């Protein structure tokens, strides 16, 4: 059985595409891409169908990732049916997702930084209104958190399946 993860931020053009691309690469490197699927979405609909923010693609590229194929989508309640875990980039998105979660699924919504034992906060800050440095900082948080999530997936999910 494939374990399915959906990363969620506000518009699905900055942080959640970063997490999708980074986690997909980490799963590939660990030889797990067939066992775990990742995708991303946004709680808002402003950017549906658009590519990732150019600054996101540039930051990913500077670190060896390819974000050029991303197209934004909106997270809708039915996406819970296709996700085992929904991973929010910040507390506001966590609250929005928890409000629309079907009965019994609120515990399947978590913060990405909860997987990073060295995190100095709970949120991956939204870099959209800032400069390029904010995108690199967000990417560093995403990479560290995804490494922690990969360990958790190997220990908690794959070990029991």
User: For the domain that residue 19 is a member of, what is the CATH number?
Assistant: 3.40.50.2300
The residue-averaged pLDDT of 115-126 equals 96
Per the structure, the complete domain to which residue 14 belongs is given by: 3-160
pLDDT at position 132, please? 86
DSSP classification of residue 28 = H
pLDDT at position 161, please? 63
Tens of pLDDT, residue by residue over 7-36, are: 999 999 999 999 999 999 999 999 998 899
The residue-averaged pLDDT of 119-142 equals 96
Of the candidates 110, 71, 70, 69, the one whose C-alpha atom is nearest the C-alpha of residue 90 is 110
Tens of pLDDT, residue by residue over 34-58, are: 899 999 999 999 999 999 999 999 9
Q: How many domains does the chain have?
A: 1
Of the candidates 38, 44, 35, the one whose C-alpha atom is nearest the C-alpha of residue 13 is 44
HSE toward the beta carbon, residue 81, CA cutoff 13 A: 3
Residues labelled as active-site residues: 9, 15, 126
pTM for this model (two decimals): 0.97
Three-state DSSP at 70 gives coil
pLDDT at position 18, please? 98
């Amino acid at each position: 059985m494939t374990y399915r993860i959906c990363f969620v931020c506000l518009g699905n053009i900055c942080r959640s595409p970063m997490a999708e691309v980074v986690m997909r690469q980490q799963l590939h490197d660990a030889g797990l891409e067939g066992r775990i699927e990742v995708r991303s979405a946004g709680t808002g609909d402003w950017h549906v169908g658009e590519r990732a923010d150019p600054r996101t693609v540039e930051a990913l590229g500077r670190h060896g990732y390819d974000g050029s194929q991303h197209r934004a989508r909106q997270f809708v309640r039915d996406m819970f049916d296709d996700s085992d875990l929904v991973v929010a980039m910040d507390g506001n998105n966590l609250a929005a997702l928890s409000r629309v979660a079907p009965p019994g699924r609120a515990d399947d919504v978590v913060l990405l930084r909860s997987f990073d034992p060295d995190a100095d906060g709970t949120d991956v800050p939204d870099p959209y209104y800032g400069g390029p440095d904010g995108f690199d900082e967000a990417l560093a948080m995403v990479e560290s958190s995804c490494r922690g999530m990969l360990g958790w997936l190997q220990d908690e999910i794959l070990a029991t399946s």
